[in-house]
């Protein structure tokens, strides 16, 4: 009895072969080489730069706890909500980072966040001086 080796049946026909029972089969080729062109062509430094000023600003707002100040929460729930047509489920609560991260709103959203952050920082600095 001859042994049926899949390698004997694979040729220039896209991996199709017939097994010993006469059943038609198809190979799926898997590239196990981690050094493929897709992986080596990915530019991770570009991804970090895509993190953009918006993500950096959100990190700064949250790290300095500006998103917890009553003034920021009020502005977010009223002026920002009206301008960008959204309503938060828990108005008056801390603004979460995920609620600030709206890259689809573009530069205007970023500039508004930056403006509110700047206002609160100025007031905080005046109180500390």
Nearest alpha-carbon partner for 64 in 123, 128, 117:
117
H helix intervals, the chain:
6-9, 37-41, 44-50, 52-63, 70-75, 81-84, 97-100, 106-128
pLDDT of 127: 76
Over residues 75-97, the pLDDT tens digits come to 999 999 999 999 998 999 999 99
Give 25's strand partners: 17
The residue ranges of the chain whose pLDDT is under 70 are: 1-15, 17, 27-51, 129
Task: Answer whether 0.75 is exceeded by the pTM.
Answer: no
pLDDT of 10: 47
**Domain locations in the chain?**
7-46, 49-128
pLDDT of 52: 76
pLDDT of 100: 93
CA dist list (Å): 89 to 12, 74, 94, 108, 116: 60, 14, 12, 23, 21
What is the distance of C-alpha 4 from the center of its chain? 48
């Amino acid at each position: 009895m001859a042994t049926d080796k899949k390698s004997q049946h694979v040729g220039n026909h896209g991996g199709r072969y017939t097994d010993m029972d006469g059943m038609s089969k198809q190979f799926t080729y898997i590239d196990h080489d981690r050094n493929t062109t897709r992986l080596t062509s990915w530019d991770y430094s570009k991804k970090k730069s895509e993190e953009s000023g918006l993500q950096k600003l959100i990190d700064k707002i949250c790290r300095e706890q500006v998103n917890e100040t009553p003034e920021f929460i009020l502005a977010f729930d009223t002026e920002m909500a009206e301008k960008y047509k959204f309503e938060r489920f828990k108005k008056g609560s801390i603004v979460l980072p995920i609620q600030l991260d709206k890259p689809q709103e573009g530069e205007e959203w970023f500039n508004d966040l930056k403006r509110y952050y700047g206002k609160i920082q100025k007031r905080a600095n005046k109180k500390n001086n």
